[in-house]
Amino acid sequence: MRLTSTRDKTVNASFKDAIQQCMPQDGGLYVPDGAADLRRWILYTNEQTSFSSIAGALTSAFINNEYSPIICETVATKAFPFEPVLKQLDEKLFVLELFHGPTCCYRDFGVSYLAAMLETTLHMENKNSILLDYTSGEHGAIIAKALKGKKHLKSILLYPKGKVCGLNEEDFVWNGGNIFPIEIDGETELGHSLINEIFKDHDLVKKANLTVSTSANIGRLIPQTFFYTYAFSRLKNKVSSDIYYALDPENYGNLVAGLYSWRLSLPVSGFILPSTKALSLDAIGNPVITDSIIPVEKRIEAEAGDPSNLERLEDFFSHYSQMMKNFVYLSDVSEKETEQAEKELFIKYKRYSDYHTAKAYAAAVKNQDLIDEEGGAIVLLDRFHPSFSADYINQTIGDKIEIPEAIQNLKKPVSLGRPVIKTPDELIMQIKKLS
């Protein structure tokens, strides 16, 4: 399967080029061009099929002849020494726990896969690459764990001054590691602005072989399609009718990944989401993407540092325009309803859930009529360990939950004692030194 752009369909890129280039030069985002029928293979999977085997087979199908099935399987095995867990809560409700990676966050899957695929590609081409990202939280630790031991990959991580956390001394480049953390004299707006300015300099990006680990990179997004096939492999002998997935949209990456899974012939009946300002219902109940009122050719460039997958969502539904109303089920969910959902998950199922999962469950409750017929099910995507929302759980339920050591370590502050930067020129100097 080749990759094209959300803005220029004459773009024709390979997977290995797309994950290294990160973004096409037309200001859009890379998207798959075409579909594949993997129904026979998907129906062959079962509860004994490992997550890494699913990832390897889907990778091989997705990138076709770029790499052999053996290489795809090897990449997946290296990327995924961990896997999701599917649990059944009642006859019609399941939960897919995506927080069983090293930092207890679903992003472990995407970043680990991207790092493994990049390392393999760079080794074969005898090249090196730099990930350039901004974070003020756990994302730096996710990257550090994914890059540990890599020979061809390094990471420049921008942090607000005084907010470096979750890293170890051996992670740093000056100690032989892969991570080059830089404090900036500003917060999120400056961090994203610096990265976006760098990626406008296409010559610099090419010369330093810069890319990102955000879902602007298709190599970070594609592994999220594996979640749905994995869930189906565990559900196929338990559910005899429609399967719906309920999730909080965040930057819409998991929704887009789910839609790509459907395009690979995975049996999916639809996706249930809380509505947002960017993706909501019009007066007659049709889903509307707010950004669509502005033609893509008149928009600013997509942001490498702070991507929204709404543009990919638009691109998908431009090909399947009749599906949106009958495939994406949106519900307005209030804060009070989210709190009630958090309490209900605890009372009915003895589960603590993070805020986003509670909100997705609230939307699922509003769409129970979708599975009224015999045999249907809803799968709730649980993306974060509940202790990420410890304060919310304490406020809502009144319980103080235990925070795992892995998550405590993510929050441990790190003192760098190195210069703080303010401008793109200062960042460029650091990039040139590292490359």
Residues 362 and 430 in one domain: no
Residues 158 and 297 in one domain: no
Specify whether the CB–CB gap between 349 and 89 falls below 8 A.
yes
Residues 285 and 331 in one domain: yes
Residue 150 domain-assigned?
A: yes
Residue 352 domain-assigned?
A: yes
Residue 148 domain-assigned?
A: yes
Residues 132 and 248 in one domain: no
* Contacts for 397 with CB less than 8 Å, ≥ 6 apart: 342, 343, 346, 352
The candidate with the shortest Cα–Cα distance to 199, out of 300, 122, 116, 107, is 300
Q: Is 329 exposed, middle or buried (0-12, 13-18, 19+ CB in 10 A)?
A: buried
Residue 401 domain-assigned?
A: no
Residue 54 domain-assigned?
A: yes
In this predicted structure, what is the pLDDT of residue 244? 96
Residue 115 domain-assigned?
A: no
In this predicted structure, what is the pLDDT of residue 282? 83
Residue whose structure tokens are 């509307």:
288
Which CA distances in Å does 1 have to 8, 37, 181, 259, 391? 17, 12, 36, 16, 44
Residues 155 and 302 in one domain: no
How many Cβ atoms are within 10 Å of 374's Cβ, its own excluded?
9
Q: Which H or E run includes 378?
A: strand 377-382
The residue range of the domain holding 138 is 128-208+413-434
Residue 144 and residue 155: Cα distance in Å, rounded? 8
Residues 274 and 371 in one domain: yes
Residue whose structure tokens are 């790190």:
414
In this predicted structure, what is the pLDDT of residue 229? 93
Residues 153 and 197 in one domain: yes
- What per-residue string of b and e applies to 279-289 under the rule 16 or more CB within 10 Å gives b? beeeeeeebbb
Residue 114 domain-assigned?
A: no
In this predicted structure, what is the pLDDT of residue 99? 97
Q: Is 326 helix (H, G, I), strand (E, B) or coil?
A: helix
Question: Which residue numbers in the chain have pLDDT < 70?
Answer: 321, 373-374
Specify whether the CB–CB gap between 252 and 387 falls below 8 A.
no
Output phi, psi for 235, to 5 deg. -100, -20
Q: Which H or E run includes 280?
A: strand 279-281
Residues 233 and 319 in one domain: yes
In this predicted structure, what is the pLDDT of residue 293? 77
In this predicted structure, what is the pLDDT of residue 414? 94
In this predicted structure, what is the pLDDT of residue 308? 86
First to last CA, the chain: 31
Residues 148 and 46 in one domain: no
Residue 101 and residue 328: Cα distance in Å, rounded? 28
Residues 33 and 79 in one domain: yes
Tell me how many domains the chain contains: 2
Looking up residue 420, the CATH number of its domain turns out to be 3.40.50.1100
Residues 96 and 190 in one domain: no
Q: Which H or E run includes 331?
A: strand 328-331
Residue 220 and residue 139: Cα distance in Å, rounded? 13
* Contacts for 375 with CB less than 8 Å, ≥ 6 apart: 239, 240, 241, 242
Residues 229 and 140 in one domain: no
Output phi, psi for 288, to 5 deg. -135, 130
Q: Is 200 exposed, middle or buried (0-12, 13-18, 19+ CB in 10 A)?
A: middle
Residue 407 domain-assigned?
A: no
In this predicted structure, what is the pLDDT of residue 373? 66
